[in-house]
Amino acid sequence: MMEMQESPRTPVVMAQLSWFFGIATIVKLLLIPSYHSTDLEVHRHWLAITHSLPLSQWYTDETSEWTLDYPPFFAYLERFLSMFAHLIDPQIVHLHHGLNYKANSAIYFQRMSVIVSDLFLLYGVYRSTLALASLKRNLIWLLVIWSPGLLIVDHLHFQYNGFLFGWLLLSLSFLAQGRDVMGGFLFAVLLCFKHLFAVAAPVYFVYLLRHYCRGGLVRGFARLSVMGAIVVAVFAAAYGPFVYHGQIQQVIRRMFPFGRGLCHAYWAPNFWVFYIMLDKGIAFLLRKFGFNIPAPVASFTGGLVGDASPFAILPRVTPLTTFIMVLLALSPCLFRTWKDPRPRLIVRSVAYAYTCGFLFGWHVHEKASLHFSIPLAIVAVEMASHANEANKSSWCFQP
C-alpha cells in the first residue's frame, strides 16, 4: 500500500502472517458456542431460500421476516454454502422446518463458514503488506487480523465482514501497485456482494478516470471503454439472471428499503443522532413553555414504511437529503483525487469516503465503522511513519 521498503521472500511473509491468522482462528473457534445475534438465523434462512427455491423466487419469498436483501453475488455465495449445509444437516436448508433451527450442526456449520471465508481477508492483508518493512507489516496484521471490531461483529454477532474486507483490501492493493483494471474489477465484484460499499464508488470513479484513463482523448476514451465494459460485465453476471426472470425491480426494492428509519436500531453515533437530539430537546422546551407540540407517531429506528415524520420541530430528513450530505462531505476528497490521483493516496481517500457515509448516511448500523477503521489501519501505519520522518527532519535542522 505504501512505498516499497524491502522485497521479502513470499513464503517467509506468508509463514509469519499465518502465525497471526492462526492465533486469531483459535480465538474464533473458542467463540463458536458463545452468544450470537438474530443474524445467525437470517443467514441460515438465506441458505434455505437459495437451496429450496428457484432463483426467480429468491427475492420474493416471505416465508420468514428475514427476507433476502443482499446483492446477487452474496445470494450465490449462500447457494454455494447451502450445498455443504445440506450434506451436514438437511434441516438447515429446509425452507419451513428449518425456521429458527438452532441445533449445534447449524451453529457450528455457519460459524465455520465465516472462519473459512476469512481466508479472503488473509490474502487481502497479505497482498496489501507484501512490500512493506517487517515492522509495518506486523502492525497492520495486528490491527486488521486481530481487529476487535471484526472479531465481535463476525464471530459473536455473526456476519461475513472479514470476507468482504478481503475483497476491498485486494482491490486497494492492486490500485496501489498501479494495476487499475484489476483494482476496478475487484471493487465491482465487491459491490455485487455488498452494496453498502458503494459509498467509495465516487472516489474509485474519479481516481480511475484521472489515473487510468489519462494519455489523451483517444487513449483515454479507449481505456474508459475497457473499464466500463469490465464493470458492466460484472454487474451483468450478478443481475443478468434476475433481469431475465423479470425480478430486477424486486431485487432493487429489497436492497434499498428506504421505508426504514433514518437511524438503525443499532444506531451509529453519527450526525443524525445529534440532529434527532436537537429536535427532541427543542420540542421538550417548547412543551414546557406551553406550546402544543404533538408527539411524533413514527420511529427513527423502525422499519415503518410511509410518509409519517418522526420529527416534531426540525425538517424531515429523507434518503435524498442524506445522499446529498454524503456527496457534499465527499467533495473535498473528490477534488483532491482529481487534482492528485496518486496510488499511494487511494487508501486514505477510500477511508475518508466511508467515514462520510458513516457520518451522514441513511439507516447506518454501528458496525459500519469497520468500513473506515479497517482501511485506516493501513493509513495509520503510513502516517506514523511519515510523522516519524518529519520529526527526525525537524530535529536535524534545530540549531
Neighbour count for residue 170 (Cβ, 10 Å) = 24
Residue 200's pLDDT is 97
Q: Range with the lowest mean pLDDT among 74-78, 300-304, 342-346?
A: 300-304
Taking residues 235-257, report their average pLDDT: 95
Closest Cα partner for 367 from 265, 298, 282, 285? 265
Q: Provide the angle, in degrees to the nearest 10, between the axes of the packed helices 104-117 and 10-30.
A: 160
Give the tens place of pLDDT for each residue, 129-153: 988 888 999 999 999 999 999 999 9
Q: How much is the pTM? A: 0.89
CA distance 372 to 318: 24
The per-residue pLDDT of the chain, averaged, comes to 88
Residue in the structure block whose three cell numbers are 465482514: 161
Q: What's the pLDDT band for 299 if we cut at 50, 70, 90?
A: low
Residue 330's pLDDT is 97
Higher pLDDT, 52 or 9: 52
Higher pLDDT, 222 or 260: 222
pLDDT above 50: residue 390: no
User: DSSP 3-state assignment of 196?
Assistant: helix
Q: Range with the lowest mean pLDDT among 39-48, 205-214, 243-252, 308-317?
A: 308-317
Q: Range with the lowest mean pLDDT among 97-101, 105-109, 152-156, 274-278?
A: 274-278
Taking residues 114-142, report their average pLDDT: 93
Higher pLDDT, 104 or 293: 104
CA distance 340 to 337: 5
Helical residues (DSSP H) of the chain, grouped into ranges: 10-30, 39-52, 72-88, 104-117, 119-129, 134-145, 148-152, 161-176, 180-193, 201-211, 217-244, 248-255, 271-288, 319-339, 346-360, 370-396
DSSP state, residue 68: -
Taking residues 249-264, report their average pLDDT: 85
Give the tens place of pLDDT for each residue, 164-174: 999 999 999 99
pLDDT above 70: residue 27: yes
Taking the CA atoms of residue 222, residue 196, residue 78 and residue 146 in that order, the dihedral angle to the nearest 10 degrees is: 110
Residue 399's pLDDT is 42
DSSP state, residue 91: G
Neighbour count for residue 132 (Cβ, 10 Å) = 24
DSSP 276-295: HHHHHHHHHHHHHTT---PP
Best-predicted range by mean pLDDT among 10-19, 168-177, 257-266? 168-177
Cβ pair 178, 335 in contact under 8 A: no
Residue 386's pLDDT is 52
Q: What's the pLDDT band for 385 if we cut at 50, 70, 90?
A: low
pLDDT above 80: residue 264: no
Residue 367's pLDDT is 86
Q: What's the pLDDT band for 269 if we cut at 50, 70, 90?
A: confident
pLDDT above 50: residue 162: yes
Residue 303's pLDDT is 42
